[in-house]
Chain A
Amino acid sequence: MMTAITDNLSVFVVILPLFIAFVLPTFARRMKLVEGLVISVETLWLIGVGYLASIVLMQKGLPIIYKLGGWEAPWGIELKVDSLGAFFLLVIVGVSLPVALFARGNLTEEVGSKERVIRFYVLYLLLGGAMAGMAVTNDLFNVFVLVEVATLSCCGLVSAGNHPRAAEAAFKYLILATLGSTLLLGGIGFIYMTTGHLNMSFAHGELAQVWQNSPHVVWMAFSFMLVGFGVKSAVFPLHVWLPDAHSNAPTPASAILSSIAVKGYLICLLKVLYNVFGPALMVQFNVHRILMLAGMVAIIAGSIRALAQDELKRRLAYSTVAQVGYILLGFGLMNIKSLTGALFYLASHAVIKSSLFLAAGAMIGATGKKNISELAGIGRKMPYTMAAFTIGSLSLIGIPLFSGFIGKWNLLLGGLETGNILSAIVIVLGSVMCAVYLLPIIRIAYFEPAPEEDWQDPGLPQKIALILLSAAVMILGILPGPVLELATRAATELLMFQ
C-alpha cells in the first residue's frame, strides 16, 4: 500500500485537488463540511508535496519520471518531477493552504450565496491542480490543456465577486487570456511540425539538430510562445487585464491569482525556453535580450503605475506587474546566480503578495473603504493585519533578513556577473520605487491619528493565515535552506540541460 502511494505520488499531487474539486458540489449547502474538506485536502496535499520534494532533494539531481498509463516516453505522456517542479509545487501548496484558511467563513460577503461559495472552492482547487500539473508535466500539449484549465478557473475566480465590475474584468481577462492560449497552441504546433515530438526532452534533442532547416519556423515558435505566455503572466505591455482582474476579484482569489496563477505561466515559459529550445538557441535568436529588456521595462513602468494608484488593491496589482519584471530579468540574464535569484524571488513574491493581498482584503472588508488615503490610523485598530502588511512590504522592498532580499541580492550578483550594469541599476531603482509606493501606506496606518470608527481585526482563521504567511516570509529570509538549495539546483539543471 505504502509503496503504491509513494510510486505514484507524482501523479497524486496533480490529481488529488482536481478529483476533490469535482466531489465538492455534491455537498450542496453544507458549507462547514466543504470548508473542512478543502482545508484537509490542502493539508494532505502539503504532506504529499513535501515528501516528494524531500525525495527530489535527496536524489541529488535525478528527476522522478512518471509514465502516465505505463506508455514509454515519445508515445506516452511523461510527468517529470525535477528540482524546478518540486520547487514550484512547494510554492503552490505553501501559499494555497493559508489562503484557503483565510477564505474560511469569510467569503459569503464578497461572493454571495452558499452555492456560489462552494463553486468558488471548486474553481480554487481546479486552479491548484492545474498549476501543480504545469509544474511537473513534460509534455507540450499537456501544458496547453493545463494552461486552459488554469485560465478558465482564474476567469471564474475573478467573476465570483457579486458586483458587476467583476464580470467586466473577467470578460476582459477571458478574451486576452484566450488570445494568449491560441498563440500558445500555435507555438506548440510549430514546434511539433519541426520536430515531430510533443515530449519536451525529445523535442529539445530534435530541435537542436533540425532548427537550421527552418529557422523562420523556430523564430515564429519563439515569438508565439513569448507573447502567449507573456499575455497570461502579465509581462509589461501585455498586462492590461491584470489590474482590473486582480483588484475586482474576491480577496482570497486576488491573493491566489497574484501569487500563484501568474507564476505558473512564468514557470511554463521557463520550461519551454530552457527545456525545449535550450540556452544555446535562446542566445542564437537573442531571446535573452528580449526577456531582459521586457523585464527592465516592466520593473520601471509597473512601479510608476503603482505609484499613481490610490486604490489599495490596484496599487498591489500594479506592483505585481513590476515584480514579474524581476523574474523575467532573471530568466534573461542566463547564469546560475540570476536564475536562482529569479526562482527564489518568485517563491518569496508568491508568499509576500498573498499576505499583502489578504491583509488588504481584511482591511477593506472591515472598513468598507478601498482607498489608501481613507485608511489613516488603521494600524492602531487592526494590529495583526497591519503587522502582516508591514512585514510583507518590508520584504517586497528587499530589506535584509526578509525573503525578498535574498532573491534581489542573487539577481543583482547575477547581473554584475554578466557585466550588465544597467540591470543592476534597474534592480536597485525598482527597490527604491517599491519603498516609495509601499512605505506611505505604513506611515498613514501607524502615524496618523486613529479614527473614531470601530474597525476590528478579522476572525481567528484569518489571523492564523496571516501569521502563517508572515512567518513564511521571515523564515524564508532568515533560513532559506532547502528552498534556496532547490532553486539553485533547478537553475543549474536548467542551464546544464542537454
Chain B
Amino acid sequence: MKIFLEKLVVNYPFTIAVFLFMIGALIVLTKSNLFKKLIGINVMESAIYIMFAGGGNIRGGAVPILEEATPKSLFINPLPSALMLTGIVVSVSVTAFGLALIIRLYKTYGTTDARKIAEMRNEVIKG
C-alpha cells in the first residue's frame, strides 16, 4: 500500500491525468446541459495532454535544441509535446463545431438542456 501511494505521488502527472479524465467523463455522461458536456470533453482531452507531456518529461532535463546536453542532464523528449499541439488543434475545432451546433439547437428549441430538448421533440412527434 505504501509503495502504491509513493508511486502515485512520484508519478504525479499521471495521477492528475487519471483524476481529470474521470471528472471529464463524469461530466460528459451525467450533465444534461450541452455546454457542460462540451466542457467535460475538453477536460478529458486535457487529461490526455497531461499524460503525454508527463510521459515525455525528464526532471531536470535539458531543453532540446536551445540547450546543450551534458552527461548529467538528458534532453527531454520533445515529440509528445509536439504531438499534443496537434491534439489541441483538433480539440479546438471539435469545440468550435460543437458550439455552432449548440447555437443551432438553441435557435430551434430555445434551450440548451438535452433533457428539455428531448421532451419537446417527443411532444412534437406525439402531437
* Per-residue B-contact encoding for A147-181, CB less than 8 Å = 1, 0 else: 01000100110010000110110110011001101
Q: How far is the CA of A58 from the CA of B23 in the complex (A)?
A: 53
Q: Does B78 contact A (CB under 8 A)?
A: no
- Asked if A189 and B52 make an inter-chain contact with CB atoms under 8 angstroms apart, the answer reads yes
Min CB gap B98→A, angstroms: 6
Given A148-B90, A168-B105, A193-B55, decide whether A156 and B41 contact each other with a Cβ distance below 8 A.
no
SS class, residues of chain A in contact with chain B: helix
Residues 174 to 202 of chain A near chain B (Cβ within 8 Å):
174-175, 178-179, 181-182, 185-186, 189, 192-193
Given A170-B101, A175-B28, A189-B48, decide whether A182 and B41 contact each other with a Cβ distance below 8 A.
yes
Q: How far is the CA of A179 from the CA of B40 in the complex (A)?
A: 10
Min CB gap B107→A, angstroms: 9
- Asked if A179 and B44 make an inter-chain contact with CB atoms under 8 angstroms apart, the answer reads yes
Given A182-B41, A182-B48, A189-B52, decide whether A164 and B98 contact each other with a Cβ distance below 8 A.
no
Q: How far is the CA of A170 from the CA of B109 in the complex (A)?
A: 15
- Asked if A175 and B83 make an inter-chain contact with CB atoms under 8 angstroms apart, the answer reads no
Q: Does A141 contact B (CB under 8 A)?
A: yes
Min CB gap A181→B, angstroms: 8
Min CB gap B6→A, angstroms: 17
Given A152-B93, A156-B97, A174-B101, decide whether A167 and B108 contact each other with a Cβ distance below 8 A.
yes
Given A171-B105, A179-B44, A182-B45, decide whether A189 and B93 contact each other with a Cβ distance below 8 A.
no
- Asked if B101 and A159 make an inter-chain contact with CB atoms under 8 angstroms apart, the answer reads yes
Contact of B90 among A145, A155, A179, A192 (CB under 8 A): A145
Q: How far is the CA of A168 from the CA of B111 in the complex (A)?
A: 12
- Asked if B34 and A178 make an inter-chain contact with CB atoms under 8 angstroms apart, the answer reads no
- Asked if A171 and B34 make an inter-chain contact with CB atoms under 8 angstroms apart, the answer reads yes
- Asked if A175 and B80 make an inter-chain contact with CB atoms under 8 angstroms apart, the answer reads no
Min CB gap B75→A, angstroms: 14
- Asked if A165 and B28 make an inter-chain contact with CB atoms under 8 angstroms apart, the answer reads no
Q: Report the interface size class on chain B.
A: 20 to 34
- Asked if B101 and A185 make an inter-chain contact with CB atoms under 8 angstroms apart, the answer reads no
List residues of chain B with CB within 8 A of the CB of A181.
90
Residues 21 to 64 of chain B near chain A (Cβ within 8 Å):
21, 25, 28, 34, 37-38, 41, 44-45, 48, 51-52, 55
Q: How far is the CA of A165 from the CA of B52 in the complex (A)?
A: 37
Residue of B nearest to A151 (CB): B94
List residues of chain B with CB within 8 A of the CB of A148.
90, 94
Number of A-B contacts (CB under 8 A): 70
Q: How far is the CA of A195 from the CA of B28 in the complex (A)?
A: 31
Contact of B101 among A141, A171, A179, A193 (CB under 8 A): A171
Min CB gap B89→A, angstroms: 9
Residue of A nearest to B98 (CB): A174
Q: How far is the CA of A178 from the CA of B92 in the complex (A)?
A: 12
Min CB gap A411→B, angstroms: 34
Q: How far is the CA of A168 from the CA of B34 in the complex (A)?
A: 11
Residue of B nearest to A172 (CB): B114
List residues of chain B with CB within 8 A of the CB of A182.
41, 44-45, 48
Q: How far is the CA of A189 from the CA of B17 in the complex (A)?
A: 12
Q: How far is the CA of A144 from the CA of B80 in the complex (A)?
A: 14
- Asked if A167 and B105 make an inter-chain contact with CB atoms under 8 angstroms apart, the answer reads yes
Residues 95 to 115 of chain B near chain A (Cβ within 8 Å):
97-98, 101-102, 104-105, 108-109
- Asked if B80 and A192 make an inter-chain contact with CB atoms under 8 angstroms apart, the answer reads yes
Q: How far is the CA of A171 from the CA of B87 in the complex (A)?
A: 20
Residue of B nearest to A171 (CB): B101
Q: How far is the CA of A186 from the CA of B91 in the complex (A)?
A: 14
List residues of chain A with CB within 8 A of the CB of B121.
165, 168
Q: How far is the CA of A174 from the CA of B102 in the complex (A)?
A: 11
Given A182-B48, A189-B55, A192-B55, decide whether A167 and B87 contact each other with a Cβ distance below 8 A.
no
Contact of B94 among A164, A167, A178 (CB under 8 A): A178
List residues of chain A with CB within 8 A of the CB of B87.
144, 185
List residues of chain B with CB within 8 A of the CB of A165.
121
Q: How far is the CA of A182 from the CA of B51 in the complex (A)?
A: 12
Q: How far is the CA of A186 from the CA of B101 in the complex (A)?
A: 26
List residues of chain A with CB within 8 A of the CB of B28.
175, 179
Min CB gap A259→B, angstroms: 23
List residues of chain B with CB within 8 A of the CB of A144.
87
Q: How far is the CA of A148 from the CA of B97 in the complex (A)?
A: 12
List residues of chain A with CB within 8 A of the CB of B91.
178
Given A167-B104, A168-B117, decide whether A189 and B98 contact each other with a Cβ distance below 8 A.
no
Q: Does B86 contact A (CB under 8 A)?
A: yes
A-B contact pairs, 9 of them (CB 8 A): A152-B94, A155-B101, A164-B104, A165-B121, A167-B105, A171-B101, A175-B98, A179-B41, A189-B51
List 15 extra interface pairs beyond A171-B98, A182-B45, A185-B48, CB under 8 A: A141-B86, A145-B90, A159-B101, A164-B104, A164-B109, A165-B121, A167-B101, A175-B37, A178-B41, A179-B41, A181-B90, A182-B41, A185-B87, A189-B51, A193-B55
Q: Which residues of B contact A (CB under 8 A)?
A: 21, 25, 28, 34, 37-38, 41, 44-45, 48, 51-52, 55, 80, 83, 86-87, 90-91, 93-94, 97-98, 101-102, 104-105, 108-109, 117, 121
